Amino acid sequence: MRILIIGGGGFIGQKLAARLAQDGTLRGAKITALHLVDVAKAATPSASFKVTADTLDIVDRDAVDRLTAKGWDVIYHLAAVVSGQAEADFVAGLRTNFFGTLNIIESARASGTRPVMVYSSSVAAYGGEVPQPIEDWTNTNPQTSYGSQKVIGELLLNDYSRKGFIDGRGVRLPTVVVRPGKPNAAASSFYSSIIREPLQGQPAMCPVDPEGTKGWLASPRSVIENLIRTANLDSEALGQNRCFNLPGITVTVAEMLAALKRAGGQAALDQIDYDIDPTIEKIVEGWAVDFNPQKALALGMMVDADFDSIVSGFIEDELNGKIAAT
């Protein structure tokens, strides 16, 4: 089993690689090679099989062709220009999220190997005048360039799978919280920073109204588990629509801050400042936050219990069980 992770240097890519290295199998077969590519060279986990990394810009079709020609049983496509950046720089988002995705899917077709391809889409595919809760059959209605570009990728994935060029499956990720590291250009970045920084005794800014802002959230643990389970699915189980919503939980920012206080006390909560950013607020308000992911549940996807468990998972996995604010 040969596995390729495109976007392997990112937060999700790194956690996925570590999990695959630990498990040693995917789709019922032993992993023999794992290769990570990104615009910057990714770190590689220790494993009982060969793990390598290299640089790649998916906008470069020739480079993508050389990569896919090596033959991969499973390709994870996680690379993207994130939401806030794609909205601020339309051309950058279009080049990577649309043309880059087209390069990957078309190159996989040209290789003739029909790989399993797991594509990370987003709940930004929904928004605007759409009834909630979102059902599996609800039409996508993106209200951002990022969401539109992700939906285009979904359509390509479905059509190339229908034609038998690839064995695709696309998952619409909720906002993943709590992400380690530093804030990025995603409009949703504050969802992590208002938990991550205070638990380490550092200040954080909340750019939205805590009472009026909700999110559809999932933990890194559940997202990685569901990426593994998605790759393991039989094609027949996916039906005619290869893309589906991953499970999450609907949480207000105020509820997130209450969980922060339960975990880190008043000292953690006091690290939060509030400064409304109309641009971020508008983007976030354009996302749907209430889903009924029946297809994902029927396919055996994992669901987080509550936001407190998400916070405790971050403390265990990223802070070695220790918090600065008590």
Active-site residue flag, 191 = no
Phi, psi values for residue 25, rounded to 5°: -140, 155
| CA-CA-CA-CA torsion sign (210, 213, 214, 217) | negative
Contact criterion met (CB below 8 Å) for 190 and 261: no
Q: Which of helix, strand or coil describes residue 100? A: helix
Q: Which amino acid is at 261?
A: K
Burial of 225 per CB tally in 10 Å (0-12, 13-18, 19+): middle
DSSP secondary structure letters along 10-47: SHHHHHHHHHHHHH-EETTEE--EEEEEESSPPP----
Best CA proximity match to 191, nearest among 202, 173, 204: 204
Positions of E strands within the chain? 2-6, 25-26, 29-30, 33-38, 50-55, 74-77, 116-122, 167-173, 175-176, 204-206, 214-218, 243-245, 249-252, 272-274
Distance CA 284, CA 143 (A): 10
Distance CA 69, CA 274 (A): 50
Q: Which of 146, 160, 191, 274 is catalytic?
A: 146
Residues taking part in catalysis? 146
